[in-house]
Chains A and B, each alone.
Chain A
Amino acid sequence: MSDFYDNDELEKAFRENIEGRSMNLPPSVWSNIKVAALERQLIRYQSTTNWFKGVSGLLATALVGILLWVYQQKTPAQLSNKAIVFTKIDTLYLTQTQKIYVSQPAAQLRVIQQERLTYQKQIKNLTQALVAYQAQEVENTTNQKLTTNHNPKLQIFTNKQPITTQPTPKDNNQPMAAGESQTNDNVESFDSKNNTKNQNVPSVAQTLVLEPMESIAYPTTEPILTIPKVRYKAPEAAIKAPKAPVEPLKNRFSLAVYLQPEWNNADIRRSERQAFDYANQNIRDGHTLGFRAGLKLTPKWSVLAGVEFTKLGFDEFNRKLNFTAEDIDGTPTFLYRNALGTVVIPNQKLIDKPQIGNVLQVESNEPITARFARVSLGLRYNVLSKKLQINPLNPLRWTLYGLAGGAIYIPQRQDIRLDIFQPNRQGAHFKFTEVENQHLAFGMNVGLGLSADYGKRIGVFIEPTYNQTLTSLVRNMPINTYLQSFGLKTGINWRLGK
């Protein structure tokens, strides 16, 4: 091979002339690629904020449910009082149940029947003994308090009257065993055919209601004997619980002020591929100043409402930008677009009247800041509370709590300073604050908190909080901007009232 072909000139000529060149794309190729990418599930059209919307929907439903529950629920103090009344005074249960299952032939039934009668006698004696004992107990404790005029059932105990029972109606083919009613002198017999009590048996006016005895079915696998269960319910007047003390509304209010450094991220969704040419700045930092009021609903639950003022800084400084004049309502106009809106550069500020397609060189030498207000409403739940008795007069109370709620983001203004260089002219410095295409957004927030309350009035708290907008902060642009932030609130809390 000759050295002639080893020279680089030929290679250099091809490399320089072909490298970096572009060709017009055939339109069919992208369609085919798109179909293939969809088939391979590389492209997903759903927005990833959908799950946020779902979660917030569930959260909102849960919040409404909790609020309703809190208002409908009686206080724990009332419940515990009522329980004490029932247990000590008004309720007497005597429960003993014996079940016998029979699967033997009829010859053995006589033995079982005898056993049954024995059980009945035993249970009767036991019931009488228990009732007498309970009656004595009740008489001792309530004799002075309870009146018998409006409490006829309780008269049984106080007057020591005999027990009566109401046997169950029997099936026609299952008559009651002979002698059964004779063992109970004071027990009413029951005519199952007429479904009435027999009149020849003296009735007792004040009766203790006993659960009916089950009839025997021979041969059967059903229970042949059930011992009655004695149940007594006291009248409403006797069980009324004392009302829990209600804390005055004024004492349940609190006010708080806090500062929150934030770590922010703007999640930008484009609906046009050209939209990737702008709004590529990142949020550098953020600070929030907030005020909020709290209202204690229960010892565990509080509702919080407040307003926050947030200032964000974009990292779009020390950058060179090129704006191309666009046709806006028939007028060639330069637009500066960022993640949170659009600034129209007024043609009056430009020396040369722009033509469509003209390029304007711009430098951004100072940080761009954006401000917005956040109106929030949420719920607080106290998970854990501990009192430290360092000073008996002013105890220190630590509380760990969770927060969840919603917020409305209200864009306010941006501070944009640009150095604009026109062709063959010197640069001029412009400041813009009026930003278009901004939009109210709705969001959610969740957090944890730890508060230290000193005495009854003052406390400090720290709250790591996550915020997320669920709707876009801009409108009428081929981008949708969702803001995510994680902040650490540190603040002071005052309780109102005495």
Chain B
Amino acid sequence: LEDEKNILAACKRGDAMAFDALYHRFAPKMLVVCTRYARDRDEAKDLLQDGFIRVFDQLHTFRGEGSLEGWIRRVIVSVGLANYQKNSKIRNQTFDIDSSFSDDNQPFMAEEITSQIAYSEMLLMIQDLPPAYKMAFNLYVFEGFKHHEIAQKLNISEGTSKSNLFQAKRILQERITKVMFNL
């Protein structure tokens, strides 16, 4: 914690090396967050870049309440949300699952899934979700938002948020089943 405090203090006085240290300390984890919100690696890089520029820009507003990593993550997520909202094409992309998916998939325990599927593969599964489902899944599962909060952030109804999350999980379950059974 002391080193984080020192990095933060040095960043606030404009120390270039402190910005370097801050970026290299937190960016590897934040790139994973960006990948979850992006369609591909290039978009993830763009989100990371925009996210850290905003982090540096707003660093003076961090009051030390909570962890620095948590604050940076919230800034990165807000950049992902803004990217989703500004691109209406992405937002309106639909995915018809009714014809190609069935509900015959067997549920797996979390340990079974994590032991057999690499994290990078799971990351790709999220990345491949339709944007609206992906946003609902990310915000609900990883960021811990409630459906009314998601509805407010994405400017949709609470029911739509629930529906999008349901569809996201349905797609992911289908893909996990395929991987688990080598289908």
Interface set of A (CB-CB < 8 Å, partner B): 1-2, 4-5, 7, 9-26, 28-30, 32-34, 36-37, 40, 42-45, 48, 268-277, 280-282
Contacts and interface: CB of A to CB of B under 8 A. Distances in A.
Interface in B1-34: 2-3, 5-7, 10, 13-21, 23-24, 27-29, 31-32
Contact of B29 (A22, A30, A45): A22
For the residues of B in contact with A, the DSSP-based class is helix
B10 A270 contact: yes
8 contacts: A10-B173, A13-B114, A16-B114, A18-B119, A22-B32, A23-B31, A270-B17, A280-B2
B62 interface: no
B179 to A, nearest CB: 12
Given A10-B169, A17-B122, A23 B28 contact: yes
Contact of A272 (B5, B17, B19): B17
Given A18-B36, A21-B119, A269-B15, 13 more contacts: A2-B103, A9-B107, A10-B172, A11-B140, A12-B110, A13-B108, A14-B126, A15-B141, A19-B142, A25-B27, A33-B56, A42-B56, A270-B15
Nearest to A47: B15
Interface stretch (B46-54, B75-83, B149-157): B46-54
B90 interface: no
B78 to A, nearest CB: 17
- A-B complex: 3 closest residue pairs judged by Cβ atoms: A44-B14, A22-B28, A13-B113
Contacts, number: 147
Nearest to A23: B31
B16 A9 contact: no
Nearest to B23: A30
Contact of A276 (B21, B48, B166): B21
B109 interface: yes
Nearest to A30: B23
A32 B57 contact: no
Interface string B124-146: 00100000000000001110000
A9 B17 contact: no
Contact of A43 (B3, B16, B169): B16
Contacts of A2: 103
A43 B113 contact: no
Contact of A268 (B6, B113, B141, B162): B6
Contacts of B172: 10, 14
Contact of A10 (B48, B57, B176): B176
B141 A32 contact: no
Contacts of B49: 29, 32-33, 36
Contacts of A33: 23, 49, 52-53, 56
A334 to B, nearest CB: 19
B56 A23 contact: no
Contacts of B19: 34, 37, 42-43
B57 A42 contact: yes
A40 B169 contact: no
Contact of A280 (B6, B45, B107): B6
B114 A273 contact: no
A481 to B, nearest CB: 12
Interface of B: 2-3, 5-7, 10, 13-21, 23-24, 27-29, 31-32, 35-36, 45, 48-49, 52-53, 56-57, 103, 107-111, 113-114, 117, 119, 122-123, 126, 140-142, 162-163, 166, 169-170, 172-173, 176
Contact of A37 (B56, B107, B176): B56
Contact of B14 (A5, A43, A277, A282): A43
Nearest to B103: A2
Given A14-B141, A36-B53, A48 B13 contact: yes
A23 B32 contact: yes
Contact of B166 (A5, A43, A273): A5
Residue with the highest number of chain B CB atoms closer than 10 Å, among A17, A34, A37, A45: A17
Nearest to A24: B28
A275 to B, nearest CB: 8
B57 A40 contact: yes
A16 B52 contact: no
Contacts of A25: 24, 27-28, 31
B14 A16 contact: no
A5 B108 contact: no
A367 to B, nearest CB: 16
A15 B113 contact: no
Contacts of A45: 16
A56 to B, nearest CB: 20
Contacts of A20: 29
Given A30-B23, A270-B17, A281 B56 contact: no
Given A4-B107, A5-B169, A45-B16, A273 B24 contact: yes
B10 A9 contact: no
B6 A14 contact: no
A36 B3 CA distance: 25
B146 to A, nearest CB: 14
A136 B174 CA distance: 128
Contacts of A13: 108, 110-111, 113-114, 122, 176
B138 to A, nearest CB: 10
B21 A18 contact: no
A277 to B, nearest CB: 6
B2 to A, nearest CB: 4
A11 B13 CA distance: 41
Contact of B2 (A44, A269, A281): A281
B170 A5 contact: yes
A28 to B, nearest CB: 8
A276 B6 contact: yes
Contacts of B140: 11
A397 to B, nearest CB: 45
